[in-house]
Homo-oligomer: A and B are copies of this chain.
Amino acid sequence: MHVHGTPTRTIWPLADCSGVEIIDQTRLPHRYELKRLATWQEAAEAIGVMRVRGAPLIGATAAYGLALAANADTGDAALHAVAASLIETRPTAVNLRWAVERMLAKLLPLAPTQRRDAAWAEAAAICDEDVAQNQAIGRHGLELIRAIRQRKGGTVNVMTHCNAGWLATVDWGTAIAPIYAAFDAGIAVDVWVSETRPRNQGAALTAWELNQHGVPHTVIADNAAGHLMQKGEVDLVIVGADRVAANGDVANKIGTYLKALAAHDNGVSFYVAVPGPTVDFRLASGAGIPIEQRSAREVTHITGRDPDGELAEVQLTPDGSPAANPAFDVTPARLVTGLITERGICKATKEGLAGLYPEQVK
């Protein structure tokens, strides 16, 4: 999508394959800075500290991490070791494991001398496929928004959580792709952006990218989601996911479950937009999804822009008060109206997923 009017992806290789460049998302919305990753360790660090985040982009970055590793050593042992280290950087998103396993499946059968070029080609293919999948999610989700518009007229009010926009993917986004598609199709949309404490990916990233694209939006505290639904100010909720189990249970950013409960209580449709690689068909239900516990400091401190325009971190809690920081929760499939995938929309059930991905089920 556009940054200062220029079409931009979140990750791209240098022409000589000596490295990749990313947008450093820890600096947004106040600084737009690129960062060059020249080693797989730098790719792993970028994933771990969330310079890149979002399940699809984590997968793409891990794929390039293996390409960077192949610049140095294309042996089986080296690739296996790097793959294991990359998978450990974040536990919840399944795209990470998916991308790493796809890279290994492509590279290991080849002669070591062929692996470097193949790695860069495969990582690029993963990125291009992600973009195509997200565009397809956008087309399918657009029809939901169009139907609401035809039913009620006026502006369609969509609520989202965290950032599942183009910054969470290689381009276009998952949950926001239908919103971009609707906006580009001339349908009036307005987006409730919940700030998404503790890391504020909504207030920092979703607001920034909607701003760059010119899509009307309003930032709210996460706490306000239920009240707005009670007041009829939300027509549709669309969120992304870090992992969807085979039964349709959804692991996504902490707080998603609360929005799903409120949507259910108020008769508001609650959709989850996911590309195929985010569905973990090996996992029977959400109970098996590991929930990452992140640093308490993400709760006790926050970074913003001070009056001088500098980035500054401030402490929010009193000294001596501990904090806990589970980063994801699991929304039971019973609260999910449907899944928007690149192959179409299905119910959040085993049968619904099997209908769209028959090759994944025996």
Contacts and interface: CB of A to CB of B under 8 A. Distances in A.
B218 A197 contact: no
A336 interface: no
A317 B207 contact: yes
Contact of A261 (B258, B315, B320): B258
A224 B302 contact: no
A359 B302 CA distance: 50
How many subunits of this chain does the assembly comprise?
Answer: 2
Interface in A317-360: 317-318, 320-326, 328-330
A227 interface: yes
Contacts of A262: 257-258, 261
A16 interface: no
Nearest to A193: B321
Interface in A179-201: 193, 195-198, 200
Interface stretch (A2-10, A78-86, A275-283, A303-311): A303-311
A318 B230 contact: no
Interface in A236-277: 253-255, 257-258, 261-262, 265
Nearest to A306: B314
Given A227-B326, A261-B262, A262-B258, A207 B299 contact: no
A232 to B, nearest CB: 13
A34 interface: no
B207 A221 contact: no
Nearest to A296: B219
A223 interface: yes
Contacts of A324: 218-220, 224
B314 A314 contact: yes
B258 A223 contact: yes
B265 A221 contact: no
Contacts of A228: 326
Given A221-B198, A221-B254, A258-B226, A302 B314 contact: yes
5 cross-chain pairs, A with B, having the tightest CB-CB distances, nearest first: A223-B255, A304-B314, A29-B318, A227-B329, A207-B321
25 contacts: A28-B318, A195-B197, A196-B223, A203-B299, A203-B321, A217-B321, A218-B321, A218-B322, A219-B317, A220-B325, A221-B254, A221-B255, A224-B325, A226-B255, A226-B257, A227-B326, A228-B326, A230-B329, A257-B262, A302-B304, A302-B314, A303-B314, A305-B314, A306-B312, A306-B313
Interface of A: 28-30, 193, 195-198, 200, 203-204, 207-208, 210-211, 217-228, 230, 253-255, 257-258, 261-262, 265, 291, 299-307, 312-318, 320-326, 328-330
Given A224-B326, A228-B326, A230-B330, 11 more contacts: A195-B299, A197-B222, A208-B318, A211-B318, A219-B299, A221-B255, A226-B257, A302-B314, A302-B316, A303-B314, A306-B312
